[in-house]
Amino acid sequence: MALADPTSVTTPEALLVRLRQLEAALAGDGRVVFPAVYVAITKAAVRWVADGGASDPRTARALIVDFGRRYLDALHADLGGGDVAPHWRRHFELAARGGPSLRGATSAINAHLTVDLAESLAAVGADGRFAGDFTAFGDALARATDDVIGALARHGVKADGLFRGWGVGRAIDAVAGAGTTSRLGFQTIRREAFTNAQALLHCTEHPGVIRAGMATAARARELTLDALLGC
């Protein structure tokens, strides 16, 4: 519970440390898959900002922290038997069935990218001026695909086929370059989140409608993942 406390994380570097601690603490638990994935992603994010990748590093750092705290909030609620945000419930239900699984990991990734990312972008005021940074940020994170696959493998989860797009993805990568398939898929979901964030920032009269659309998209992706990977 202490490790999942979102209020105690105030910097990207602290988030990275916390995720590593959670991965160790949750070893063997079905919930371990997401901190394992998130360590790889956050490490790449921190490096990208530190290396001068962002023209607006202040917003980039704020985004990393706010985004991470939304996952910690969901985990904290689940650990404490509290009210878990609806888009996170499927992940924790899957995690409770047994040990680490690819389906559990994909559910968490869906929840975080489809809903949390848009909310975080809006919360830190990442408007259209941040669009260039956001795209470059995503390209840098997509290059961590091998690290994500390796992180899941540490917990006995095989993810190479999914993240490479199986045979079709490998064929595309052979023509367009390694990592093309995973980068396109990742950036497509991120662009959707950025569009929803702009709507939350600028179309303030009906935020409930926007959030309902985000929730519907998250549920639709869960159904697709069920079809691909099983329930």
Count Cβ atoms below 10 Å from residue 227 Cβ, excluding itself.
9
Q: What is the pLDDT along the chain (231 residues), one digit of tens a residue?
A: 999 999 999 999 999 999 999 999 999 999 999 999 999 999 999 999 999 999 999 999 999 999 999 999 999 999 999 999 999 999 999 999 989 999 999 999 999 999 999 999 999 999 999 999 999 999 998 889 999 999 999 999 999 988 876 544 454 454 445 555 566 677 899 999 999 999 999 988 889 999 999 999 999 999 999 999 987
Predicted TM-score of the model (pTM): 0.92
Q: Which of 13, 15, 40 is nearest to 154 (CA)?
A: 40
What confidence score (pLDDT) does residue 184 get? 66
Looking from the CA of 173 toward its CB, the CA atoms found within 13 Å total: 17
Burial 194-204 (b: 16+ CB within 10 A, else e): bebbbbbbeee
DSSP 68: H
Q: Which residues contact 86 (CB under 8 A, 6 or more apart)?
A: 215
At which residue do the structure tokens 């992706």 appear?
Answer: 221
Give Cα separations from 170 to 120, 146, 152, 165, 218 (angstroms).
33, 14, 20, 7, 26
DSSP 155: T
Q: Where are the domains of the chain?
A: 6-229
